[in-house]
Structure 1
Amino acid sequence: MYRTRAWIHADTTGGVLLMIAAVVALGWANSPWRESYHDLLSVVVGPASLGLDLSLAHWAADGLLAVFFFVVGVELKQEFVAGDLRNPRSAGVPIAAAVGGMVVPALVYVAIVGGLEPEALRGWATPTATDIAFALGVLALFGRGLPVALRVFLMTLAVVDDLLGIIVIATVYTDSIDARMLGAGLACVVVFGVAVRARRARWWVLLPLAVLAWGFVHASGVHSTVAGVLLGFTVPAIARAGEKQPRTERFGARITPYSTAVCLPLFAFASAGVTVVGSGHIVQPVSVGVFFALVVGKVVGVMATVWIVTRLTPLRLPDAIGIRDLLPVGLLTGIGFTVALLIAELSFAPGAGLSPDHEPAAKIGILAGSLIAAVLGALMLRRDARRVRSSDENRDGIPDQDTRVI
């Protein structure tokens, strides 16, 4: 049991399981039995009286992914209150890099797609996301010998990236809002926040409140993953009387195995199965735009932003990290996958009046771009690890103190 728990919590596990699920889905969706794959995902389950008669594909995107975003919310709360995001000076560079790593890919996508298929510009946010599980998994596998600070830098960048992605989902891809339902959902979040701060947080109280918050937010028209993040934000990040660790860490440790081993792989299985056999989805403006935005736009955005802020502002790279490390990190941020697939589904939903080819094309671009970004990132990590490092990599005039390696 201990070994199983340790394996699930390892950085590499999430990436491996996501990759297996995506390969299985892609293989099934392009096999002679591909109709059975699409039929399976279109099966509707849930109570119609509550408006929750959703297909399995919708349950994966709206339900299972909310669990993942709860974990993201908990991690964000911990980082903002007691982690690396607490100090603006040390967190400034990765935060700026996250912004640049979203803006430039969006511009690359617009530049490629805008003149050819203007109606597909709705998908501009698709290549802006970074998959935390995949990126950290590749770093753990191929970044051996590199400073531990590089993992913290990538984690901070990816967490901020996800937070900005959540804001985009909540503002850009919400067409109409039922104010009463949203108010009820927020009320449930507030009650959850009170209950989770009680002297003893009871799961049989918290779980129904979380489900109610999710259901009301879903019914309001706002994507239900936002409920997951808001619920995560309410969890206390400082140890209370008699506790050995903050509840953010404890909740994260308990829920991460379900998110890593169940929720994310099932979402990947439901989203990555794009049928390309006998179709023209592979090469078209949307897929090309997403591909180059992930592989090129992310790297340029991250590296250019860091170069600018470290030269024009007092901000500096964290201890033991140099400009040379930003190429592999920039490539790893090009692994879009989970959140990118979600945004692609929201961008090119059937009711948006767009071509039905756009969504599968975007997913092909995500899968191809994420794969190439991961391979190139792994190669650059190994190259970086073999090079001799300076005693002052971040060039702040102070010898590096934390030289621990991955």
Structure 2
Amino acid sequence: MIERKSLIRQKIAIALGPIQAFFRYEASSGILLLFFAVLAMILANSPWAESYESVLALKLPFAPAEYHLDLSVLHLVNDGLMAIFFFVIGLEIKREFFFGELQSLSATILPICAALGGMLIPAFIYVIVNAGGAPEAMAGWGIPMATDIAFSLGILAIVAQGVPIAIVIFLTALAIVDDLGAIIVIALFYTSGFSAAALFGGLASLGCAFFVNRKGVKNFIAYLIFGLIAWLFFLNAGIHPTIAGVVLAFAIPIDRHHPERSVLYKIEHALEPWSAYVIMPIFALANAGVRLPGDISALLDPIALGIVLGLCIGKPLGICCMVFLFSRVLRLSLPTSFGRWNVLGSGCLAGIGFTMSLFIASLAFPNPEHLATAKLGIIAASLLSGTLGALVFLLAKGRSSTNETNMQ
């Protein structure tokens, strides 16, 4: 009996290993991300603001403009480095579908439904707030749909120590599904200067990557070459080139029987620290710099207000409604740790859009004024959502301690 219990514990530890490792990476990188976001805001509101903006506007020397490679530093970060970031996200999504919390429909239906609620209601709120306003403002409807994994898990790790692993898994899976939804939104709705020929070239390159996967090729160089070609084609097709990174990730070989030996596992673990500790902080430094207004009246602009209401109210509302529908209406059982306060806290933390919201905003608003307003709304909403989520989890922790004391 004792040996059987020991074996069960070992299996549970093996199953939770990837989730806990992912949680540690994202949680610690969230702190670093916050530092560089604050640094960007300080630079944008300091005497060095012009120098900061000039560096971001610098273009690559000797890059051929006919292939759209004359990228500025800002575009090199958003189109180049973020392709690696999205590639890592794609690897994480594929791993979760094969070995993690998304491998069976019964295990994924809750975070998938919660993520859908957390995307649709914020987008609806944004549209309602901006209805009848400037037509170009409507392009920002995708901004409040996003969740920043690093920030949300970072705050969860700081304020909710000892939180049930089921909540960590729920928030992680929800954020991953949310990222997948945001990627689909970017691919379908945030494109410009579309070229069918270039798109065909990019898809053909990615098709070659899947073909060599079928042939059992395990050398990553082959996939890297096809990925770079697809990135260049997508850049010239009007499709955001980061999509090439996501699709390429699904072509990377995975070993169902020995996942730790697979190409996907090795690449993910090699790139995850670079993505978490280098690429995301650089992205924050390049994109979070926004000039703060003298008063808060700028937050009453429909663009900023729609983002704040969508992330701070729409996110938790959509997630909590879906969990309620899942448990009460459909009569499906939930883990015992899914108390109302833990679910509400997770919904609030999911309202931290930051990285993905800033990314979508940069695609939605070519107008610098609208982009600055959107960035202000994203930063305000992320700060407010993080604070609310932290308070809810601290309250839940206090209530749990009180109940335990009363039981004793």
TM range (shorter): 0.7 to 0.9
Q: 2:131 aligns with which of 97, 100, 114?
A: 114
Map residues 153-172 of structure 1 onto 2, 5 A cutoff: 153-172=170-189
Contact kept? 2:316, 2:344, Cα under 8 Å:
yes
Shift of 1:187: 1.9
Q: State which drifts further: 322-331 or 43-52.
A: 43-52
Structure 2 residue 44 is the aligned partner of structure 1 residue 29: yes
Contact kept? 1:66, 1:227, Cα under 8 Å:
yes
Structure 2 residue 190 is the aligned partner of structure 1 residue 173: yes
Tell me the residue number matched to 2:395: 383
Tell me the residue number matched to 2:233: 216
Q: 1:358 aligns with which of 370, 377, 380?
A: 370
Tell me the residue number matched to 2:292: 276
Once residues 69 and 7 of structure 1 are traced to their aligned partners in structure 2, the CA distance between those partners, rounded to angstroms, is 15
Shift of 1:305: 1.5
Q: State which drifts further: 125-134 or 115-124.
A: 115-124
Shift of 1:244: 4.0
Counterpart secondary structure, 2:400: coil
Task: Describe the superposition over 1:369-402 as per-residue Cα deviations: whole angstroms up to 9, x where unpaired.
Answer: 101111221222222233339xxxxxxxxxxxxx
Tell me the residue number matched to 1:404: none
Q: TM-score, normalised by structure 1?
A: 0.87
Once residues 347 and 23 of structure 2 are traced to their aligned partners in structure 1, the CA distance between those partners, rounded to angstroms, is 26
Counterpart secondary structure, 2:166: helix
Q: 1:253 aligns with which of 261, 264, 269?
A: 269
Task: Describe the superposition over 1:95-118 as per-residue Cα deviations: whole angstroms up to 9, x where unpaired.
Answer: 101000011111211222224444
Contact kept? 1:145, 1:385, Cα under 8 Å:
no
Q: 1:187 aligns with which of 204, 207, 211?
A: 204
Amino acid at match of 1:138: I
Contact kept? 1:341, 1:366, Cα under 8 Å:
yes
In structure 1, stretches of 5+ residues that fail to align are: 1-5, 351-355, 390-406
Contact kept? 1:82, 1:238, Cα under 8 Å:
no
Q: State which drifts further: 64-73 or 303-312.
A: 303-312
Shift of 1:189: 1.5
Once residues 233 and 119 of structure 1 are traced to their aligned partners in structure 2, the CA distance between those partners, rounded to angstroms, is 34
Query: Equivalent pairs: percent with the same residue?
Result: 40
Structure 2 residue 351 is the aligned partner of structure 1 residue 339: no
RMSD of the TM alignment (CA)? 2.5
Shift of 1:197: 6.1
Amino acid at match of 2:242: T
Shift of 1:236: 3.0
Tell me the residue number matched to 1:43: 58
Amino acid at match of 2:80: G
Structure 2 residue 80 is the aligned partner of structure 1 residue 68: no
Structure 2 residue 26 is the aligned partner of structure 1 residue 11: yes
Once residues 190 and 116 of structure 2 are traced to their aligned partners in structure 1, the CA distance between those partners, rounded to angstroms, is 19
Once residues 280 and 211 of structure 2 are traced to their aligned partners in structure 1, the CA distance between those partners, rounded to angstroms, is 29
Shift of 1:119: 3.6
Shift of 1:291: 1.1
Once residues 262 and 222 of structure 2 are traced to their aligned partners in structure 1, the CA distance between those partners, rounded to angstroms, is 19
Contact kept? 2:98, 2:256, Cα under 8 Å:
no
Shift of 1:200: 6.0
Once residues 244 and 290 of structure 1 are traced to their aligned partners in structure 2, the CA distance between those partners, rounded to angstroms, is 41
Amino acid at match of 2:280: L
Shift of 1:239: 3.9
Contact kept? 2:341, 2:392, Cα under 8 Å:
no
Task: Describe the superposition over 1:336-374 as per-residue Cα deviations: whole angstroms up to 9, x where unpaired.
Answer: 011100111111114xxxxx4211111100001101111
Map residues 274-313 of structure 1 onto 2, 5 A cutoff: 274-277=290-293, 281-313=298-330
Q: TM-score, normalised by structure 2?
A: 0.86
Q: Would the alpha carbon gap of residues 144 and 210 (structure 1) be closer, same or farther in structure 2, given more than 3 Å must change?
A: same
Shift of 1:205: 2.9
Once residues 68 and 270 of structure 2 are traced to their aligned partners in structure 1, the CA distance between those partners, rounded to angstroms, is 30
Contact kept? 1:109, 1:292, Cα under 8 Å:
yes
Once residues 42 and 129 of structure 1 are traced to their aligned partners in structure 2, the CA distance between those partners, rounded to angstroms, is 26
